[in-house]
Amino acid sequence: MRTLFTGGTVVGPEGSQQADLLVDGERIAAIGRDVPHSDARVVDAAGFYLLPGGIDVHTHLDMPLDDIRSSDDFQTGHVAAACGGTTSHIDFVIQTKGGSLRQALDTWHARAEGKACIDYGFHMTIADPRPEVLEEIGRLPEWGITTVKVLMAYKGRLQLDDAQLLAVMRKAAEHGLLTMVHCENGDVIDVLERGAVAAGHREPKYHALARPSALEGEATGRAIAIAQVAGARVYIVHLTCEAALDQVRLAQSRGDSVFAETCVQYFFFTADDLDRPGFEGAKFVCSPPFRTSRDQEALWGGLVDGTLSVVSTDHCPFNFATDKAHGREDFTKIPNGVPAIEDRLIMLHHAGVNGGRITLGRFVDVTATAPARLFGLYPRKGVLAPGSDADIVLWDPRARRTISARTHHMRVDYSLFEGQTATGAPIGVWVRGMQVVDENRFVGQSGSGQYLSRNRVRQ
C-alpha cells in the first residue's frame, strides 16, 4: 500500500522543509516535490508537521515489583505511547538474582508477545553479576541487545557495589555495549530513609528529603570515573539536577564518552509536589525524586547546550488507589514510578517549543533522532528519509489537548498533568506505514509491533 502525505512540513533535527512524503509498504519511498503517486492514498498534511515517530528509550511496562506490577502492559502501554506520538520504545529486562540473562530476556519477550502495537527493544539490567553472568554479557548483541543497565541505588535489591560496576562496565566495553547507570548513592539513602522512618517522618515528602541531589551528583561523578577506568561508554539515566549535570558537562568537556537523558516530568514538578495535601504527594514519588525550580532551569540549559542528549519518561505507572496506597503509613513502601509515556511529546513540545526554550528541530532530536543514534536504531528509526521505516507523526501545532486521567490511554488512575492544557498534539500516527492513531483514537492492532534487534554503536 502506498500513502502520500501532501503539503506538510517535514521536520528533522537540522530544520524543516515543505515537501510531499511518499510511503510504500513499511518504508518511506521518497520526500520531495511532485513525487509520482498514481495509486497512493493521499493524506492532506497542509498546515501540519510530519515528525519522525517518537522513541522512548526508558520505560517499564508490566514490571514486577514485590507483589504488584507496573499497571501498563505491552498492550495498554503501547496504545498510550502511540496516542502520544511514540512509535518505538526500549524497555528494561531485569535479571533476577540467581537467574541468567537469557531467562530474564525470555520472560520479557513473552510479556510483549501478541500484545505489542508499536516497535520495541530491550536493555538488560544486570542485578547479579556472577562470573558466568559477566560471560553471558558477550551474548547480548546476538540477541539484539546492545545496552546494559546497572543501578547504584535500591540497596539490597538492584544496587551493585563499585567493584561490580567496574566488572560490568569492563565487559560491556569489551563487547562494544553502552552501559546505562542509575546514579544515586544507595548506601547513604538507606541510612537516611531508616532515620526518617524512625523519627516518625512517614509522609511522601520525606521520599525526596531522603534522596538529596548531592547524592545524585556524587554518584554521577563516581559512575563516570569508574567508566573512565573501565574504558566504557556510559549513559546516565533520568538525570534530575544541577549537581549531576555539572559532572556530565565536565566529563564531556574532557572528551569522555558520557551521555545523559532526563525525563519530561522533571521539567514540570518539584519536591513541593510530594507535599500536596492528604496523600496526593504519593502520585509524584519516583526516583530520583523531583527537585527544585533551580534544577529545572539547569535541565533546560543542559537540553539547549547538548549536555543532555535525550528526553525519555521512565514510564513506570502504579495506580494511586491501590498500589501507591501501600505507602500510606510509610513513604518507603510507596512504589516508585510515574506515568508519562503518553504525555512526553505533547508536554515537552508545549513547554519547550511553545515556551521558546528549544527549537522544533531540537525537540525532534531529543525525542527521536538522538535516541535512535545512541541506541543502534538509526537510520531505520528516528528520521524521515527515503529507506527509513515509515514511523510518522502528523502533528497539529494548533491542536489543544487537556490532559486528564479520564481521557488518557494509560492504564492508571491518575495523571501527573491533570487539568493542564497543551497546544500541539499528534492527530495521526503511523508505524511502519500502518496507521495506528486517528485523531486521539487508537486504530492499530495488538500483535503488530515488532521486536527491534539493535546494532552496536561506536562513538
Residues that bind Zn ion in the complex, under the rule CB under 5 A: 314
CB of 252 to Zn ion, least distance (A): 23
Residue 33 DSSP symbol: S
C-alpha cell of residue 251: 566529563
CB of 41 to Zn ion, least distance (A): 39
CB of 315 to Zn ion, least distance (A): 8
Tell me which H or E stretch contains 305.
helix 293-305
CB of 56 to Zn ion, least distance (A): 11
Report the residue number, 148 or 390, with the smaller CB distance to Zn ion.
Answer: 148
CB of 340 to Zn ion, least distance (A): 11
- What's the distance, CA 12 to chain centroid? 20
Contact call for residues 359 and 15 (beta carbons, < 8 A): no
Task: Name the residue whose CB lies closest to Zn ion.
Answer: 314
Report the residue number, 56 or 314, with the smaller CB distance to Zn ion.
Answer: 314
Report the residue number, 314 or 343, with the smaller CB distance to Zn ion.
Answer: 314
CB of 92 to Zn ion, least distance (A): 6
Report the residue number, 314 or 391, with the smaller CB distance to Zn ion.
Answer: 314
C-alpha cell of residue 370: 538522538
Q: At what angle do helices 242-254 and 293-305 cross, to 10 degrees?
A: 20
Report the residue number, 261 or 314, with the smaller CB distance to Zn ion.
Answer: 314
Report the residue number, 234 or 434, with the smaller CB distance to Zn ion.
Answer: 234
C-alpha cell of residue 231: 574504558
CB of 263 to Zn ion, least distance (A): 9
Report the residue number, 184 or 314, with the smaller CB distance to Zn ion.
Answer: 314
| Number of neighbouring beta carbons within 10 Å of residue 419 | 8
Report the residue number, 211 or 432, with the smaller CB distance to Zn ion.
Answer: 211
Q: Residue 191: CB partners within 8 Å, gap ≥ 6?
A: none
- What's the distance, CA 239 to chain centroid? 12
| Number of neighbouring beta carbons within 10 Å of residue 345 | 28
CB of 191 to Zn ion, least distance (A): 23
CA–CA dist 340, 345 (Å, integer) = 10
CA–CA dist 4, 37 (Å, integer) = 7
Q: Residue 428: CB partners within 8 Å, gap ≥ 6?
A: 43, 392, 393, 394, 435, 437, 438, 439
| Number of neighbouring beta carbons within 10 Å of residue 70 | 24
| Number of neighbouring beta carbons within 10 Å of residue 155 | 17
